[in-house]
Structure 1
Amino acid sequence: MTATTETPRREGALDVPEGLPRGIDLGRINNRDKAIAMYGREFTEKLTDHALLADEAAYLAMRDFRDKSTGANWRTFDTALDHGIDALDDPSPGMVELFRQLEHIPDWVDFDQLYRGAVAFWRAGPIVPPILAWATIAGGFSMYSATRPVLFSGRMRKADHVGTRLVESFRYVVAAYAPGGMGRFEEGFRLTAKVRMIHAAVRHGLSRSDAWDWANWGIPINNLDGMVTQAGQFGVKFIDAVHSSGIRFSDREIEDIFALSRYVGWVIGVPEDILHTDYDDARKKTNFHTLIEQPTDDLCRDVVHSVIKFSVENPPGDVEVLPAPVAKFMTTDRRLKLAYGLLSTWLPENVIKDLHVEPTPWRFVLPAVKPLLTLSNRVGRILPHDDEAATFRILKQFNAAIAVPESEKAKAVANPDEVGADAAANKGGMPVVAKAI
């Protein structure tokens, strides 16, 4: 295919080296011709251009933190996060723009709908935690693009760090997808903004790493991959995993869940022009992203297996991912085999094959009990039920285990400076590649 040479408008191109191709011609993009044939050139080039675009507002704020003359730092960021930007006497330009975006509520946001979406997200009950741990978080790292940035810090390659990373991920997801969690001064909003700055710190570190392969991977923590995290991992693939387990969401519940994931995507910095608008749009963009992904490689496999193994042997916050009655009577080895059996139901067959998941009889467990789960779900929807109460029961269990003391709120998720520094230092031991530009 002939390379396209037109330079796109790069709103998120600070610290990106000159001479890179357009997004569609990056090494990470697979099946270019097929994508154009299926989705059209305009759509394909628009989305792939975002592999070289990223969250500029958070990145400018991060650069202010590095410039001592601005007076911006993590203390002022936390103050603005907890009390609003007006609580600062002289905020830096980067901070002002970041909070202008954070505090802007798009006209499509309906907080009552977001609340309903959070209730729907959790009301499927005990099946939700293993889906989040294994299909969504671990399964997400089967994607080639998702693993590149996280591997540099070493936090997903070293056993003593995997647990911390997993607990932090649970803490963030539970907070953001809790009913009312995305209110401006609620914990979900706060942690989403924190994760946004972690992304900026990792981008800042990797932009200065000799091992980051710009011509193949594009910009670290880019818009394209950020979009599919909300549309795909916590949207389409979560819904599909729940449905494949025998529990069905109503059309309204699906609409509400995707409204919530859309707003989480907005707060975390995905630009509105590629942010999913609804379920159908999310599925289209998720399918497109899957099509253009490079195949799962050894690095992907290492991360996925590390997360699953650790979550089984050392459940996040000592809360079993599996329902307690199931986990109680099973050895660690059997729980691990069951985890892979469930994963075989939730992830596409080709992904399971690429992950080298051993086929065991446990893969038949969920299909065998699916009719019972389906019947239970249908009866439960007919009989009087309280989805909100059920949601808060399961959230109470998780929050009690993964909560941090009020005095240590800053430790709820990773320290951005530490993660950024680890990425810059390549503590994950990623190989330095010959530059193609």
Structure 2
Amino acid sequence: MTITEPGTGSQTFRGDLDVPAGLPRGIDLGRIANKEKAIAMYGRELVEKLTDHALLADDYAYAAMLDFKDKSNGASWRTFDQALEYGIDAIDEPTPGLVALFDQLDHIPDWVDFDQLYRGAVAFWRAGPIVPPVLAWGAIAGGFSMYSATRPVLFSGRLREQDKVGTRLIESFRYVVAAYTPGGMTRFEEGFRLTAKVRMIHAAVRHSLGRSDHWDWAGWGIPINNLDSMVTQAGQFGVKFTDAVQASGIRYSDRELEDIFALSRYVGYVIGVPEDILHTSYEDARRKTDLHTLIELPPDDLCRDVVHSIVEYSVENPPGDVEVLPGPVAKFMTNERRLKLAYGLLHSWIPAHVMDALGAEKTAWRHILPAISPVVTLADKIGRLLPHDDEKAAFTMLRQFNDAIKLPDGANKAMAVANPDEVHADIAANKGGMPVVTTQ
């Protein structure tokens, strides 16, 4: 598959660099379930198009990262950081891979309206204290209930070993919070910077996993592939986030939903999802997320390990000692009760069959949101009729969350997200204890 470079018309990147020959089509990979049902519901054309992207990934970032590996030129992570900070023109003799990457990054698609993205970020956060638990447990932890999303994170052990879960979780928070901050996705703001940085880390992880004897190509497809990257934005931080907020009693208007999904679409573009499979609207995001959910294998023991590790760690060690739960609730609860509440909330945000597969305890707290959501909805409706300042509410919530995840004083801002060399070392050492693949 060719990808046309923005503004040039040339077709350089195929999306399948380093993919071994002899693999089946995406629809026939081991990770794909219910394919005949999916074809019957969504049509063969869409199902084959999206599943083909399980064997395609972001070659813009990957080619730039390969330049870093080539010691005959001057490209490096430091070069990338300079281009990100000051623009590609600040680099003397940039490599072709870096030039092509920044040509794509700096290109603003004609569907981008930065005023709309700003409104989307305000809407994302204006729901108030419910946002942190939805983000931590419904979106991030819940996202790892997906079989496919879990595979790339297993090898480093960073979401299974308790001494590393906190670091990995806070890194995820920093990126998501920055990307979904009002104004954060303009070119030289922190949201754009961290999104592009995470994109390059994904390329480095893809390189490491693609050379591992433990990566199951025929089962899983290409590491950090386009299909899963698309649904991270359309689903994990889109449909599943907004559904969880609304299940809690807060209602988004049609305009707010379109604004939120316009923002998640542009975050997806900057992180490297090809435009031809990016969601185009709220309805399109839901359709693609539902399709992705249908073709997912059920959660396995490894999914269970990751989900429970994230939930348990965030309850016992809230990031920056700032509670995920609203302060008045958390103050009077033991860790055991908080954990039961967390799983109770997840029962309202994640389908019952997934929660059963995860072996999640059916605590009495699972009845709390169904009981109180009508009251929350009524209060929200009244609040929308009275004078209100959504922007102020959003920034108040953001200040609290950013206090929890800020870098230590004096720390290099490169520490905001994962160090790719450390992640590579953990993958190479197979810290996650994944078995060797005997057949491909």
Length-normalised TM-score, structure 1: 0.97
Contact 1:209 1:425 in 2 (8 A): no
Cα deviations by residue, 1:77-108 (Å, 9 ceiling, x for unpaired): 11000000000011111111111111110000
Specify the alignment match of 1:196 in structure 2: 199
Specify the alignment match of 2:429 in structure 1: 425
Q: Which letter maps to 1:308?
A: V
The partner residue of 1:141 within 134, 144, 154 is 144
Specify the alignment match of 1:187 in structure 2: 190
Tell whether 2:429 aligns with 1:408.
no
User: Quick one: distance in 1 between partners of 2:73 and 2:357?
Assistant: 48
Shift of 1:424: 2.9
Shift of 1:70: 1.8
User: Quick one: distance in 2 between partners of 1:384 and 1:321?
Assistant: 28
Contact 1:11 1:56 in 2 (8 A): yes
Q: Which letter maps to 1:433?
A: V
Specify the alignment match of 2:22 in structure 1: 19
What is the total number of aligned residue pairs between the two structures?
Answer: 430
Specify the alignment match of 2:7 in structure 1: none
Contact 1:198 1:420 in 2 (8 A): no
Contact 2:171 2:416 in 1 (8 A): yes
Specify the alignment match of 2:48 in structure 1: 45
Specify the alignment match of 2:322 in structure 1: 319
Contact 1:130 1:321 in 2 (8 A): yes
Shift of 1:65: 0.5
Tell whether 2:394 aligns with 1:391.
yes
Query: Secondary structure of the residue that 2:155 maps to in structure 1?
Result: helix
> Which structure 1 residue ranges, 5 or more long, are not aligned?
1-6
Contact 2:2 2:14 in 1 (8 A): no
Specify the alignment match of 1:269 in structure 2: 272
Query: Secondary structure of the residue that 1:320 maps to in structure 2?
Result: coil
Shift of 1:400: 1.9
Specify the alignment match of 2:253 in structure 1: 250
Deviates more, 1:277-286 or 1:397-406: 397-406
Specify the alignment match of 1:341 in structure 2: 344
Shift of 1:243: 0.9
User: Quick one: distance in 1 between partners of 2:284 and 2:80?
Assistant: 34
Query: Secondary structure of the residue that 1:89 maps to in structure 2?
Result: coil
Tell whether 2:70 aligns with 1:95.
no
Shift of 1:406: 6.2
Tell whether 2:274 aligns with 1:284.
no
Specify the alignment match of 1:68 in structure 2: 71
Q: Which letter maps to 1:432?
A: V
Query: Secondary structure of the residue that 2:234 maps to in structure 1?
Result: helix
Q: Which letter maps to 1:46?
A: K
Specify the alignment match of 1:108 in structure 2: 111
1:66–1:110 CA distance, 2 compared to 1 (3 A): same
Contact 1:8 1:49 in 2 (8 A): no
Shift of 1:407: 4.8
Contact 2:79 2:91 in 1 (8 A): yes
User: Quick one: distance in 2 between partners of 1:61 and 1:425?
Assistant: 24
Specify the alignment match of 1:3 in structure 2: none
Shift of 1:69: 1.1
Cα deviations by residue, 1:42-71 (Å, 9 ceiling, x for unpaired): 111110000000000000011100101121
Query: Secondary structure of the residue that 1:249 maps to in structure 2?
Result: coil
Specify the alignment match of 2:439 in structure 1: 435
User: Quick one: distance in 1 between partners of 2:72 and 2:422?
Assistant: 22
Contact 2:2 2:15 in 1 (8 A): no
Contact 1:8 1:22 in 2 (8 A): no
How large is the Cα RMSD of the aligned pairs?
Answer: 1.2
Contact 2:204 2:420 in 1 (8 A): yes
Specify the alignment match of 1:233 in structure 2: 236
Contact 1:203 1:420 in 2 (8 A): no
Query: Secondary structure of the residue that 1:70 maps to in structure 2?
Result: coil
> Which structure 2 residue ranges, 5 or more long, are not aligned?
4-12
Cα deviations by residue, 1:279-303 (Å, 9 ceiling, x for unpaired): 0100000000001001110000000
